[in-house]
Structure 1
Amino acid sequence: MYQYSDFDQSFIEQRAAQYREQLERHLAGVLPDAEFRPLRLQNGWYLQRYAPMLRVAVPYGEVASRQLRALARIAREYDRPSEELLQHAQSTQDALQAAQPGTLSAPLLRYGYGHFTTRTNVQYNWIPLEKSADVMDLLASVQMHGIQTSGNCIRNLNADDLAGIAPDEVADPRPFAEILRQWSTLHPEFAFLPRKFKISITGGMEDRAATHWYDVGLKLVHNAAGELGFAVSVGGGMGRTPTISPTIRDFLPWNQLLNYLEAVIRVYNQYGRRDNAWKARIKILVKAEGQRFIDAVEAEYASILEQDGAPHTITEAELERVTACFVQPELIAANLASEIDTGSPAYQRWLQRNVRPHRLPQLRVVGLSFKRPGFAPGDADGDTLDAVAQLADTFSAGEARLTHEQNLVLPWVHASDLPALYEQARALGLAQPNIGLLTDMIACPGGDFCALANARSIPIAAALTERYQDLDELWDLGEIDLHISGCINSCGHHHSGHIGILGVDKDGKEWYQITLGGADGSQLSGPATPGKVVGPSFSAAEVPDVIEAILDTYRTQRDTGEPFIHTLRRVGLDPFKTAANAARHTPTGHTARSEATTA
């Protein structure tokens, strides 16, 4: 993992001190909210439906055990609403329930949790604003912060969670991700872009970083001469206009990465729209200008090389300096005894779904599933975060990684330690063998917390998790990506789900659109593709039955061993659309479904 230099550490400590001074002036009434707002946003502090929300950056997903313990302390000590605020939030949800009879029951509003996002950030929803500077100091003490997790700037870098350990990897993208982080942090020219700007990077043959859904996607490749470089795609995004980014450079020499990105973002900064927030993302500019955008980037890039002298060329020495932080850790097996029956079906299922190959044959990559009954997808309380930190120390050289799917992985596990790790993970409720299956769903916090949301995501996720608890049924259904967003901003990445659920507002009430056929670019899903809407919106109470009808159609239409997404593409949307719309009028309910599928 990257270790902060003295400069890095001094930088974030000064930033935390600067924020404390700004906060004190604001709380004293000296700094008006209009002036304080951009300052707190630049440090990851939002004001949401009930309380401030903090977004903590975890660059390219890597997190150390000491950092997990700090995140646990924040959850336990700071993520706590006042009783008055909690009662207000509960009464608001109760009123919504009363206004929409038949709506899925609202979960009890909880606190003391960190929430893993699809972009390897960690969010907290209940930290009082007056405590925010204390949290900033705590984060800085473990080399963490919230810088550029908000605002119209280059956001936290996303990467493949198997970076540096995948058997199919062309090269380790982490050194380049770290160089990008350092270059982009508080970049003076790109602090006020037309809109937020997101970059994803991968070194694998398989795209596990959804690169074509990002403003810029970077994929390490070799050219015909065997030289290392990047394929560069620009103009992806979700939201109101789901767009797959085109590749504008098949091969860019690795040492020119920063110069080329400087050209891309300069063109965007100059020509991107600022009059309409919905049309300000780079995807709109790329789609509207097409080849003219590419030509402008190439012209700016040529100017940077020729007139400016290529000031951001990455030298071999700099790459070596950063790469030295990503050397293989000392790998020592824990060799703990275990009483687990390694031949049991439960253990074998866990091996199949939650354990992946490693580039080192004696090691494995182990997924910890944060999709559990009674918990929102991606939620982890303080005790769980502390326990995961201990798992990382015992089994994974003190390191874990956040994933796009809102889980964690342990990247350095000896194969001989798998039984002992399974035993401990199972005791924590983190060994559900459901990774990649229906209940391993992505979901944003939705209307329970977010002021932008049109509808709640968590009750939908809870209802589907409760309905599909039979592991035999889940395994029979096979790999299915189900993604839920509470609004069109698409924080739950519903566009890329094989099944997507989008919360919409209809006459002041919560409704949900269903999309089918989305893909993120993985090997199973194929090229990145936005899903298509299958009819008018459904009420919250209808959604579980609609999903069930879609899955029942899959059962009747599939060939032996055929995954859901492949069946959907082979037979087309019409049978699924018909079934979904029929379920609106003939809800089966949980009991009827259970009897039918277990008979």
Structure 2
Amino acid sequence: MYKYNDFDEAFVRNRVAEFREQVERRVDGSLTEDEFKPLRLKNGLYLQLHAYMLRVAVPYGTLNSTQMRQLALIAERFDKGYGHFTTRQNIQFNWPRLKDVPEILELLADVEMHAIQTSGNCIRNVTADHFAGAALDEIEDPRPTAELLRQWSTDHPEFQYLPRKFKIAITGAPNDRAVTKAHDIGLRMVRSEAGDPGYEVIVGGGLGRTPMVGKTVRDFLPKADLLPYLEAIMQVYNLSGRRDNKYKARIKILVHETGLDEIKEMIEEAFERQKRDFRGPPSELLEMIEEAFAPPLFDNTQSLAFDHAQEANPAFRSFVETNVAAHKNPAYGIVSVSLKPIGGTPGDATAEQMRTLADLAEAYGHDELRVSHEQNIILPHVRKADIPAVYARLREAGLATANIGLVSDIIACPGMDYCALATARSIPIAQQISTRFDELKLEREIGPLKIKISGCINACGHHHVGHIGILGLDKAGKENYQITLGGDGTETATIGERTGPGFDAEDLIQAIEAIIETYLGLREDTSETFLQAYRRVGAEPFKQAIYARPEDEARAA
């Protein structure tokens, strides 16, 4: 992992001291809420429905055990005993008191963490593949690039007041686990014909009220050109992006309204200018960053304990099938820990669970943890011989749900239970769906299926790229849920298609059941996934199934 240097330490401590003084002025009335708002947002502090919410940055989703234990301490001392892991690979605390926030930030600084640029019209927390450095299919670990981008973008004077917030994601593998095509800039590591590593650069992706799949502006960009090329993209956006309407201020709108060919030309012209004058980071810094992400010293001792445990324990075998992925080292596995217990709140973890995860990372995982954009926690480097012991500890902590990638592994935003922008609840819907399909005992038969739920049009639950997406809206004072089908957040990204009129909360679960029953009835065999079947047959069979009742037919007419 990257470790702070003296500059990093001083920068973060100075920001904490500055914000402490600003909070004191707000508490004593010297600052109005309107005056305080831009100051708190620069430090990741939101005012939600019931309380302040602090969003803590977890750059590219990477944590160590000390940091996870500090998050547990903050949850226990300053919140209600839990934290909420988000689709930005961050963690949110939903109940801090304003006067306590500076102390929380001090505790974060003690373990090389902060809340800078987790909000505002700036470059937000850079996200990455949660299997980075471990994945069998990886071309190169993307985290050194992500760390370079974090340093480049933090407090960059030219990009602190962009037309709108700006999000960058990077993956190091051909299988995209970072949803790069739904970001303002997506970077996919590729190799040239000569075998040199570089990047495919994707621009103009995004969800929200105008969902768009990003478009490739460079098939191959040499690694040495990354920063001047990104500077060029940012300059084009900063100068040409719309500022008259915040709903049309994202770079995706600029790409759409200007056209891809012209945008590419604008970027290339800016790149040529930028490249002539660009002074890249010193080689010592690049070497230091690369060294920080050197692979751990793996123990390649082979053992039959992993195989024997699967033979002896069907529950453990089920856990391995869904929650353990192939590692580039054959003696190891990547363990995904589900934060989606049946009937639970997606993404929530208690302080005690955080401590358990920290203990496991320290004892069995080379002291590394990852937060995934799917609101789960990853132990990226676990020796196969140790996975049975890890599983036993997870069971004791209520963290051994064997559902990664299945129906109950649902992404859901906090919705109207917390968020001031939400128009409907998300959490109860996720809880009802997971509970219902647990009752039906169909998860394994259904196979891979991604359900994503957003409580408003801002799409924090990524519903547009869910195989089944659910969008909660207010319809004449009543919660109403639209369904989209066929979305995909991977390298074959697509935006889901709306099925038709929405459903009241009490009818929604029945509609989801009808969709899945239709899939089970029309798939060619058990190997055909929901997304594959949808792409083969289209939307019509599913629409017929969910609008089959007379009242629904009348509503859809």
* TM-score normalised by the chain length of structure 2: 0.95
What residue in structure 2 maps to residue 324 of structure 1? 291
Q: Is the 8 A contact 1:153 1:196 kept in 2?
A: yes
The CA distance in 2 between the partners of 1:530 and 1:119, in whole Å, is 19
What residue in structure 1 maps to residue 197 of structure 2? 228
Q: Is the 8 A contact 2:140 2:172 kept in 1?
A: yes
Instruction: Describe the superposition over 1:90-122 as per-residue Cα deviations: whole angstroms up to 9, x where unpaired.
Output: xxxxxxxxxxxxxxxxxxxxx422111111010
Out of 547, 552, 573, the position equivalent to 2:517 is 552
For the residue of structure 2 that corresponds to 1:388, the secondary structure is helix
Q: Is the 8 A contact 1:258 1:314 kept in 2?
A: no
Give the fraction of aligned pairs with identical amino acids, expressed as a percent: 50
The CA distance in 1 between the partners of 2:425 and 2:27, in whole Å, is 32
Equivalent pairs counted in the alignment come to 548
Instruction: Describe the superposition over 1:514-562 as per-residue Cα deviations: whole angstroms up to 9, x where unpaired.
Output: 000000015xxxx110001111010011111110010111111111121
What residue in structure 2 maps to residue 184 of structure 1? 153
Instruction: Describe the superposition over 1:374-409 as per-residue Cα deviations: whole angstroms up to 9, x where unpaired.
Output: 420010011111111111111101111001111001
Out of 429, 436, 457, the position equivalent to 2:398 is 429
Instruction: Describe the superposition over 1:49-108 as per-residue Cα deviations: whole angstroms up to 9, x where unpaired.
Output: 0000111110001011111111111111111xxxxxxxxxxxxxxxxxxxxxxxxxxxxx
Q: Is the 8 A contact 2:342 2:434 kept in 1?
A: yes
What residue in structure 1 maps to residue 541 of structure 2? 575
* Closer/same/farther in 2, CA of residues 584 and 514 from structure 1, 3 Å limit: farther
Question: How many angstroms does 1:223 deviate by?
Answer: 0.8
Question: Is 2:103 the partner of 1:134?
Answer: yes
For the residue of structure 1 that corresponds to 2:442, the secondary structure is helix
What residue in structure 2 maps to residue 310 of structure 1? 278
Give the counterpart letter for 2:530 in structure 1.
F
For the residue of structure 1 that corresponds to 2:325, the secondary structure is strand
Q: Is the 8 A contact 1:333 1:416 kept in 2?
A: no
Q: Is the 8 A contact 1:68 1:386 kept in 2?
A: yes
Question: Is 2:418 the partner of 1:455?
Answer: no
Question: How many angstroms does 1:246 deviate by?
Answer: 0.5
Q: Is the 8 A contact 1:437 1:478 kept in 2?
A: yes
For residues 203-352 of structure 1, what are the structure 2 equivalents within 5 Å? 203-290=172-259, 291-306=261-276, 309-311=277-279, 313-314=280-281, 316-331=283-298, 342-352=311-321
What residue in structure 2 maps to residue 57 of structure 1? 57
Q: Is the 8 A contact 2:343 2:432 kept in 1?
A: no
Instruction: Describe the superposition over 1:9-54 as per-residue Cα deviations: whole angstroms up to 9, x where unpaired.
Output: 1211111111101100111111222221111101100000000011
* Closer/same/farther in 2, CA of residues 218 and 585 from structure 1, 3 Å limit: same
For residues 446-525 of structure 1, what are the structure 2 equivalents within 5 Å? 446-470=415-439, 472-521=441-490
Question: How many angstroms does 1:341 deviate by?
Answer: 6.6
User: Over the residues paired in the alignment, what is the CA RMSD in angstroms?
Assistant: 1.8
Give the counterpart letter for 2:222 in structure 1.
P
What residue in structure 2 maps to residue 528 of structure 1? 493
What residue in structure 2 maps to residue 46 of structure 1? 46
* Closer/same/farther in 2, CA of residues 474 and 585 from structure 1, 3 Å limit: farther
Question: How many angstroms does 1:317 deviate by?
Answer: 3.6
Q: Is the 8 A contact 2:61 2:127 kept in 1?
A: yes
For the residue of structure 2 that corresponds to 1:582, the secondary structure is coil
What residue in structure 2 maps to residue 377 of structure 1? 346
Unmatched tracts of structure 1, length 5 or more: 80-110, 587-599
Unmatched tracts of structure 2, length 5 or more: 553-557
The CA distance in 2 between the partners of 1:222 and 1:135, in whole Å, is 43
What residue in structure 1 maps to residue 412 of structure 2? 443
The CA distance in 2 between the partners of 1:305 and 1:341, in whole Å, is 55
Q: Is the 8 A contact 1:56 1:146 kept in 2?
A: yes
For the residue of structure 2 that corresponds to 1:209, the secondary structure is coil
The CA distance in 2 between the partners of 1:345 and 1:315, in whole Å, is 53
Give the counterpart letter for 2:509 in structure 1.
P
Instruction: Describe the superposition over 1:192-220 as per-residue Cα deviations: whole angstroms up to 9, x where unpaired.
Output: 00000000001112111111100000011
* Closer/same/farther in 2, CA of residues 239 and 175 from structure 1, 3 Å limit: same
Give the counterpart letter for 1:446 in structure 2.
G
Out of 324, 327, 332, the position equivalent to 1:355 is 324
The CA distance in 2 between the partners of 1:149 and 1:293, in whole Å, is 28
What residue in structure 1 maps to residue 24 of structure 2? 24
* TM-score normalised by the chain length of structure 1: 0.89
